[in-house]
Amino acid sequence: MKQFFTKTKTTLMLAFFMFGAMVYAQEGFHKINVGVDLALPVGDLSNLSSIGFGASGKAYYGLNHEMNITGSLGYLYFPYKHSELSGGVTMIPVMFGFDYDFDGFYIEPKLGLVFASVKMDTIFGSVTNSSTEFGIGLGGGYRINNLDFGLHYNIVNNLNYLGLRAAYSFDI
């Protein structure tokens, strides 16, 4: 358990450092966006849940007009679909990626760590299991003005999902 918290602290510190470096850098085009997420479980996760939802934030460090380095932090919750089960699966993805823009349309491969927690409430009490997993994803979307609509597929061990995201961007 102590090792889990050490990994978590280290990863979050790295994420905040990278976010801060991207936000306060002096070159390139900078922006952040905040959005709502809808996730459709795939594989083993689809046996537990029908849908997930959450929120996320993303920071962009522009290398030029077409290319950005990205860092994102999110929160997703997948409630159990069976009425006899109470609880759900929670994921906190910390991802870094590369975004290439094609006149509004973009592609974005990304990788990072996902902090996952499974909680099940029983008549005997709650049972929780947490882990830190490596995640990799490929996505794309369309940006118009300050709106960003995205679709991405994330592979997180046996907790894979297809995500839909709508976000609003702010220049910094």
Return the domain boundaries, the chain. Answer: 2-171
C-alpha distances out from residue 29 to 16, 24, 124, 168, Å: 19, 11, 54, 16
Residue 73 scores a pLDDT above 90: yes
Residue 122 pLDDT class (50, 70, 90 cuts): confident
| Mean pLDDT calculated for residue range 135-144 | 95
Residue 98 scores a pLDDT above 70: yes
User: Token pair 């794309």 is at which residue?
Assistant: 140
Residue 110 scores a pLDDT above 90: yes
pLDDT score recorded for residue 22: 47
| Mean pLDDT calculated for residue range 87-94 | 94
- Decide if 35 contacts 60 (C-beta within 8 A): no
The pTM for the full model equals 0.79
pLDDT tens figures, 17-51: 555 554 444 455 689 999 999 999 999 888 888 99
Residue 155 contacts by C-beta under 8 Å, 6 or more apart in sequence?
135, 136, 137
Q: How far, in Å, CA of 57 to CA of 172, rounded?
A: 14
Residue 120 scores a pLDDT above 80: yes
pLDDT score recorded for residue 26: 46
Q: Does domain 2-171 have CATH number 2.40.160.20?
A: yes
pLDDT score recorded for residue 12: 54
| Mean pLDDT calculated for residue range 116-134 | 88
Residue 151 scores a pLDDT above 70: yes
Per DSSP, what are the bridge partners of residue 115? 92, 132
pLDDT score recorded for residue 76: 97
Query: Where are the extended beta strands (E) located within the chain?
Result: 30-41, 52-62, 67-79, 86-102, 105-122, 125-144, 147-155, 161-171
pLDDT tens figures, 48-72: 889 999 999 999 999 988 899 999 9
Mean pLDDT value across the chain: 86
pLDDT score recorded for residue 148: 95
Closest CA to 169 of 35, 15, 63: 35
